[in-house]
Structure 1
């Protein structure tokens, strides 16, 4: 599937809000809920402006994963960029209709290409839960090195989980 990574823009707010609403239940199976207030458009828009401000200040890069028709398939974020150490932290989510189709892997490949070209970040850290095998595969397929499993346990959706930590280093 042909797809692109486009930096988050306010012009995408309505489509992104719909994407988040349509995938709320699906996302909450694997990540903590964002809270009901997030799904009020005014609150969502306010948070979106904050993200765009962060992006403009170079603290984070927020991308939308889009298909050739410009439909939003997911999100991919490089956050908490530590410029002095050239390190960023990865986060991503793909909508339910698009899961299991290689979209996260391809989008991450595109992000790593952008990151290598821009040279701002030389290392990306990521983590996923021990039960999220699909996310572990996406990271490993794209050259992320598995570092360790956290000692801390989180209780989420009735299950005790730990985090698997990864890093990617530019060549």
Structure 2
């Protein structure tokens, strides 16, 4: 069973493989990271881990039993009880319900471990998979139209509760 883990330095090789192997798949639905991301991967990861240590972001990877990264689930721009959610799944792990289950789990962590009360997200209009995950996990469209690397998208929000139930609302 895949496990959501907080990003650590030892995830670097598996994370880089995940990004390289799925680059074309990701580019079909989310903005491409560009060549510099891969060239400067180690420095970028070090910077992300510093942001995480400072409490500005919470980065996670979904790993299988062999340690292969199947997905990334990040809470960024943490401030005043809220954060922005971003996620991506490996092509081979897509369409299995893993993203939905992991976002639900991350909503629980956001409320209980990180003391967040609100999560925001955005998805391109043509990114049906991400929009489906967001609505299945209790995010609602804000009506805000956003641009994601020149592509039209929608903003979403989810209020979190610290009660015993964290399922979709």
In structure 1, the gaps of 5 or more residues are: none
1:76 and 2:73 matched: yes
Instruction: Give the structure-1-normalised TM-score.
Output: 0.88
Q: Distance in 2 between matches of 1:89 and 1:144?
A: 12
1:98 and 2:93 matched: yes
Query: Aligned-pair distance for 1:24?
Result: 0.9
Partner of residue 89, structure 1: 84
Q: Distance in 2 between matches of 1:20 and 1:75?
A: 10
Partner deviation per Cα, 1:18-44 (whole Å, 9 max, x = no partner): 11110111111112221212223xx10
Query: Aligned-pair distance for 1:68?
Result: 2.9
1:37 match: secondary structure: helix
1:146 and 2:136 matched: no
Provide runs of 4+ in structure 1 moved above 6 Å. none
2:22 match: secondary structure: helix
Query: Aligned-pair distance for 1:87?
Result: 0.7
Instruction: Give the structure-2-normalised TM-score.
Output: 0.89
Q: Distance in 2 between matches of 1:59 and 1:155?
A: 23
Q: Distance in 2 between matches of 1:93 and 1:153?
A: 18
In structure 2, the gaps of 5 or more residues are: 162-169
Work out whether residues 3 and 107 of structure 1, in 8 Å CA contact, stay in contact via their aligned partners in 2: no
Partner of residue 166, structure 2: none
Structure 1 range deviating more: 115-124 or 20-29: 115-124
Q: Distance in 1 between matches of 2:9 and 2:148?
A: 34
Partner of residue 19, structure 1: 18
Partner of residue 165, structure 1: 155
Taking structure 1 as reference, are residues 147 and 61 closer, same or farther at Cα in structure 2, changes over 3 Å only? Answer: same
What value does the CA root-mean-square deviation take over the aligned residues? 1.6
1:38 and 2:37 matched: yes
